[in-house]
Amino acid sequence: MQNNNSLVSKSPKWWRFGLAAWQPIAEYFKSDVIKDEDLWQQLKSGQSNTSFRLRIHNRHYFIQLPNEKNNLLRPFNGQYSALDRWLMSTQIKQWLTRHYIDLPLVCISEWIDNDPQYIRFSNQSLRQQLVGFLVGLHQLSPINGKEQNSDAAVIGESLLTKPLDMAQHLKGYFELAIKTNPQQRTAIELLYNEGLFFAKSHEPSCFCHSDLNPFNLLWDANKGQLKIIDWEYACFNDPLLDIAGLLVHWSLSSREQSQFVAAYQQRMGRSIDPQKLKDMGSLSRVLSKLWHFASDN
């Protein structure tokens, strides 16, 4: 075992994410074993984050390192630990992974033996759990009782009372997209104006995940349990943007979309305006395209 001060104050030569990201990892594990590069299996390196599978003494951990630049696109203000604790106290905790550290520069969470073949809309259990998850998520309310004065409760309260300003959100995407890809200004301006048009239908009314694409869904085949990850875009948003984004990302047929929406309506006990859902689908596509311009993907 290495002196912990030395472990925290200096990252290994192969580490390329900066000392500020290394320090919380070193402080959590408190072992020089983590300096062994062979224990780190890189899973993904993209515009939004880089992720690893870390193996220590037959235990596995999922480690995610967000791209700092893209934090500018996220509506949540960085209080990830409190957000996680709040969500873990709610009725949707069964669909969450356990986080050991959740900070703006690094997230350490439990490893899920994901089976991608089950992340398909043809998986009836996945569809049913997705509906159950969305209904539970969109019905969240602030913490009461013994957690009422905790920092998690404060975050829960603020997230449920501070609606996302979609026009401002689009402006942030637009400005970063122009800065990243100035040569694409005409295309970006067209997208931005299109987004502002559909944003007129945007009505925040509940807490939402706001990024429900297939890559943010895991399937624990051993437990037959769906898990939802990547909550950095979560905020008080329009629930139809959650649903529309999911339908758009999955490229579902009209019949599949109708069945899913019908199941959600039945569980929520309220109807959905088809035109507004269509508008939110268009808005979701605009946000996705602007994100690609902004992240230079």
- pLDDT per residue over 43-75, tens digit each? 876 666 789 999 998 899 999 887 765 555 566
Q: Which of 43-47, 124-128, 176-180 is the least confident region?
A: 43-47
71 with 218, same domain? no
Q: Which CATH number does the domain housing residue 175 bear?
A: 3.90.1200.10
Question: What's CA 242's distance to the chain center, in Å?
Answer: 11
In the chain, the percentage of residues whose pLDDT exceeds 70 is 85
Mean pLDDT of the chain: 86
Task: Give residue 87's pLDDT band: very low, low, confident or very high (50, 70, 90).
Answer: confident
What is the bridge-based pairing of β-strands 107-110 and 217-220?
unpaired
Q: Cα(225)–Cα(97) distance, rounded to whole angstroms?
A: 11
> Which of these ranges, 2-11, 147-156, 242-251, has the smallest mean pLDDT?
147-156
- Confidence class for position 92, pLDDT limits 50, 70, 90: very high
Cα 74-85-260 angle, rounded to 5 deg: 65
Residues 95 and 188 occupy one common structural domain: no
Boundary residue ending a domain (63, 93, 109): 109
pLDDT value at residue 214: 85
Same domain, 151 and 226: yes
- Which of 77-81, 127-131, 193-197, 279-283 has the lowest average pLDDT? 77-81
Does 138 share its domain with 207?
yes
Question: In the listed set 78, 109, 140, which residue is the last one of a domain according to the structure?
Answer: 109
Q: Are 158 and 120 in a shared domain?
A: yes
Task: Please report where in the chains the tokens 């290994």 appear, as a residue.
Answer: 12
Instruction: Indicate whether 222 and 253 sit together in one domain.
Output: yes
Q: In the prediction, which pLDDT does 268 show? A: 95
Domain match, 265 and 209 both: yes
Percentage, residues of the chain above pLDDT 90: 54
Report the alpha-carbon distance of residue 210 to residue 145 in Å, rounded: 28
Structure tokens at 188: 């970006």
User: Which residue has better confidence, 98 or 277?
Assistant: 277
Give me the mean pLDDT over the 10-27 stretch. Answer: 93
Return d(Cα 195, Cα 173) in angstroms, integer: 11
Q: Are residues 11 and 25 in the same domain?
A: yes
Distance CA 229, CA 61 (A): 14
How far apart are the C-alpha atoms of 83 and 265, rounded to whole Å? 27
Q: Is the pLDDT of residue 182 over 80?
A: yes
Q: Domain containing 40 — which CATH number?
A: 3.30.200
Q: Do 146 and 245 belong together in one domain?
A: yes
User: Does 151 lie in the same domain as 58?
Assistant: no
| DSSP character at residue 97 | P
Q: Rounded to an integer, what distance in angstroms lies between the CA atom of residue 277 and that of residue 238?
A: 10
What does the pLDDT look like over 187-235, one tens digit per residue? Answer: 999 999 999 999 999 999 999 999 998 888 998 888 889 999 888 788 8
- End residue of a domain, out of 83, 109, 135: 109
Q: What is the pLDDT of residue 86?
A: 80
Q: First CA to last CA across the chain, in angstroms?
A: 41
Range of the domain at 150: 114-294
Its pTM stands at: 0.84
167 with 278, same domain: the answer is yes
pLDDT reported for residue 269: 94
Total domain count, the chain = 2
Q: Residues near 263 by Cβ (< 8 Å), separated by ≥ 6?
A: 127, 128, 131
How much is the pLDDT for 70? Answer: 56
Contacts of 50 (CB under 8 A, 6+ apart): 17, 42, 44, 64, 65, 67
For residues 261 and 234, membership in a common domain is answered with: yes
